[in-house]
Amino acid sequence: MKKDLLFDLTVDKTKQTVTITREFDAELPLVWDAFTKQEFLDQWVAPKPFTSRTKYMDFKVGGKRFFAMVSPEGQERWMIQEYKSITPKTNFQLFNAFADEDENPQLPGSEWDYNFSEQHGKTKVVISIYNESLTRMERLIEMGFKEGMAATLDNLDELLATASAK
């Protein structure tokens, strides 16, 4: 990672929100595309050796992205996201939930809020993730870490396994 780029992650338990801030060494339109276009998203949201496979993505309010995190063994974990609001190159919000392969969401999910701003050619992205139940989220993440099972946030369990295998 480039050392001079800001990275911050905080958990606010009273607001049941995780906030992640990261700076990128690129202009805003590029970063916006990387977060909102299928062909770019699939290149980075899944940490190697996992891959992201998007079945469809319709980036508009009310539109959905249905995708899977695929393990090296070919195991798929499906997720569905629905876009709740979009302010081009500034902000978008989505609802994220695990799903089965027939697109049925497994509730409760989480609400994601993405904010973009550019300064001196660098783009700052602030992601707030609100969970109806932070306890549940934490427990599931912990479970994922220990037993490689379920997680509520994205592909967190797979990611944890990758991180702990190092």
Q: Of 9 and 149, which has the nearer Cβ to other proteins? A: 9
Binding-residue total with other proteins (CB under 8 A): 37
Bridge partners of residue 83, in order along the sequence? 94
What are the residues whose beta carbons fall under 8 Å from the beta carbon of 45, sequence distance 6 or more?
A: 52, 154, 155
DSSP string for residues in 37-51 = -HHHHHHHSSPTT-E
DSSP string for residues in 106-146 = EEEEEEEEEEEEEETTEEEEEEEEEES-HHHHHHHHHHHHH
Q: Which of 25, 76, 103, 132 binds other proteins (CB under 8 A)?
A: 25
The answer to whether residue 149 forms part of the interface with other proteins (CB under 8 A) is no
**Candidates 14-22, 59-67, 92-100, 104-112; binding stretch for other proteins (CB under 8 A):** 14-22
Q: Of 93 and 123, which has the nearer Cβ to other proteins? A: 123
The answer to whether residue 145 forms part of the interface with other proteins (CB under 8 A) is yes
Q: Of 61 and 163, which has the nearer Cβ to other proteins? A: 163
Q: Which of 166, 142, 165, 83 is nearest to 156 (CA)?
A: 142
Residues 100-139 binding other proteins (CB under 8 A) are 134-135, 138-139
Q: What whole-number distance in Å separates Cα of residue 82 and Cα of residue 110?
A: 11
Q: What whole-number distance in Å separates Cα of residue 47 and Cα of residue 80?
A: 18
The answer to whether residue 28 forms part of the interface with other proteins (CB under 8 A) is no
The site for other proteins (CB under 8 A) is made up of: 1-2, 5, 7, 9, 11, 13-14, 18, 20, 22, 24-26, 30-31, 33-34, 40, 43-45, 47-48, 134-135, 138-139, 141-142, 145, 156, 159-160, 162-164
